[in-house]
A = this chain, B = another copy of it.
Amino acid sequence: MAGQGPTRERVEAAYQALETGDRSRVAEYWAEDMRWLVPGNHQLAGWWEGLDGFLDFMGRVGRLSGGSFVMKREAVLLSGDRSADVSHNVGYRAGADGSPSLYDRLEIDVIHLLRWRDGRVVEGRGAVFGDGTTTFNQFWSQVRADGVRTDG
């Protein structure tokens, strides 16, 4: 796919590969030298470097949310070597299922802007709509609403 930009199908396939957690399948869509920028200023925020860094990030998301995260993709936009996907994400802090607190339950609309090279993602940056970055910071905070600290 050298020289070609991503298609909607390839974007979908990249995320599906990611969900399998199978590194060799993931590496078909996500470049070894990729980087990923998580919005906010919480424990997961900032640039994750390399495919291993990205997988480390994804693993922490799974662990901190007890595997509860559900991303529902709503749109994929394209242009040249870029794609943007919009999704509605819902999840709970591990052990806090059903809590209505913004420190325990996350519900946000996000957009990821990806840059591709030879069929693989080389850079991704996420951003949250509305005041979702504030609630993102609360959700990933190492404190809960009552100030009790949780493991990072």
Contact A149 B111 (CB under 8 A): no
- A55 sits at the interface (CB 8 A): no
1/0 contact string of A67-96 vs chain B (CB within 8 Å): 000000001111110111010000000000
Contact B100 A102 (CB under 8 A): no
Contact B37 A129 (CB under 8 A): yes
A contacts with B, residue count (CB < 8 A): 48
Contact B79 A76 (CB under 8 A): yes
Contact A45 B77 (CB under 8 A): no
Contact B148 A47 (CB under 8 A): yes
Whether A41 touches B111, Cβ cut-off 8 Å, given contacts A48-B149, A83-B77, is no
1/0 contact string of A136-152 vs chain B (CB within 8 Å): 01100111110111001
Q: List 21 A-B contacts (CB under 8 A).
A: A8-B79, A39-B131, A41-B141, A42-B42, A45-B142, A46-B130, A47-B143, A75-B82, A77-B79, A77-B83, A77-B84, A78-B78, A84-B84, A100-B100, A102-B102, A125-B129, A126-B129, A130-B143, A130-B147, A131-B143, A134-B137
